[in-house]
Chain A
């Protein structure tokens, strides 16, 4: 028996070619959808931060009494606090006056701070009757 070669088909089978890998040196632009999402997130964060700052400034403004322009000290100004515009008497720098001034200014603290009744020398409390 002789071998016979089959006839060549009319249509040649297509040979699959491997796709070419693109060079990475020139990056193709990102897809539109992910870039859009990141932008939206950034905008939202910025808006939130701005809102927080706005709320804080509004709170600060409403807590101040109307008409006040600056914080004032709650402690009363004692009379006689040296004000640079008040003129001194001629003897205000004399040693006699300075001595009196030092004594007078220290006296209130001395008086209020003095221990008049030492709590460590109170008498012992005793139970006297034996109770038998």
Chain B
């Protein structure tokens, strides 16, 4: 699945470097970000000089730096989406269909960026640059929504892994109760039943939170980037609440363990 995901994404960019691992993708993203910051600074300087002097030379320099920055901006976003693809490929908690959905989102965005990057070399004036940049600006909200859906999805994947470990421990406890429950006194049986009930309640609350996150995430929309950030933060808060339920259930598991371990 990992190889399929990476090859599917990278097959659209035959000149792209093949990343061996998430770590390599992360380093490349950071590298591209460093170059972007440098080119953005040069663009700002050239833009300010043109605004100040309004000479043809300043205009030509501003145009050159603008094109360079725009190309690097697309490359930066491309490297970031590739990093997300790698993270998705290594995730073990998400279902296949959910993962495929996110890979499709990344594919769509990479197609857009590739098409947008091809427009940049033909930019001949600052007006052209404004127009081409405007295409990215108008698409940026859609891109940002996709990115945040994937980030929340990765968090849900991690929660699912923790939930599986939790369930495994519960099954072990139930096996012990089934095997040795005959030797329990009525009081002990009552205590054990109460702990198991508490544990199952916490597990249910955890699952409810998980389902809420996935439901909201699948239908994620936003009026603007600020609204998107607010909704993203709210979902991150729900992720934290889900983890808290699981943590409480785990503490009850310790109590159950002690109730099973000691005769009194």
- Using a CB–CB distance below 8 Å, which chain A residues touch chain B? 79-80, 86-92, 96-97, 99-101, 103-105, 107-108, 110-112, 114-118, 120-124, 126-132
Contacts and interface: CB of A to CB of B under 8 A. Distances in A.
Which of A89, A118, A128 is most buried by chain B, counting CB atoms within 10 A of its CB?
A89
Interface residues of B, number: 61
Given A96-B172, A116-B243, A117-B239, A107 B261 contact: no
Given A104-B254, A107-B166, A123 B236 contact: no
Nearest to A91: B180
B216 interface: no
Main secondary structure of the interface of B (DSSP, over half): helix
Contacts of B80: 123-124
28 contacts: A79-B258, A80-B258, A80-B262, A88-B261, A88-B263, A91-B183, A91-B260, A99-B172, A100-B172, A100-B173, A103-B165, A105-B254, A111-B162, A114-B162, A115-B158, A116-B239, A116-B240, A121-B84, A121-B87, A121-B151, A121-B154, A123-B80, A124-B36, A124-B76, A124-B77, A126-B73, A126-B76, A132-B62
A27 to B, nearest CB: 82
A86 B263 contact: yes
Interface string B104-123: 00000000000000000000
Interface in B47-83: 47, 62, 66, 73, 76-77, 80, 83
Nearest to A123: B147
B83 A103 contact: no
A107 B83 CA distance: 30
Given A107-B165, A116-B158, A130-B47, 19 more contacts: A79-B258, A80-B258, A86-B262, A87-B262, A89-B263, A91-B180, A97-B176, A97-B261, A103-B165, A104-B250, A104-B256, A108-B254, A111-B162, A111-B247, A114-B158, A117-B151, A121-B87, A123-B144, A130-B129
B257 A100 contact: yes
A104 B253 contact: yes
Contacts of B147: 123
Contacts of B261: 80, 88-89, 92, 97, 101
Interface of B: 26, 33, 36, 40, 47, 62, 66, 73, 76-77, 80, 83-84, 87, 126, 129-130, 133, 136-137, 140, 144, 147-148, 151, 154-155, 158-159, 161-162, 165-166, 168-169, 172-173, 175-176, 179-180, 183, 236, 239-240, 243, 246-247, 250-251, 253-258, 260-264
B243 A114 contact: yes
B246 A91 contact: no
Given A123-B80, A130-B130, A97 B260 contact: yes
Contacts of B155: 116-117
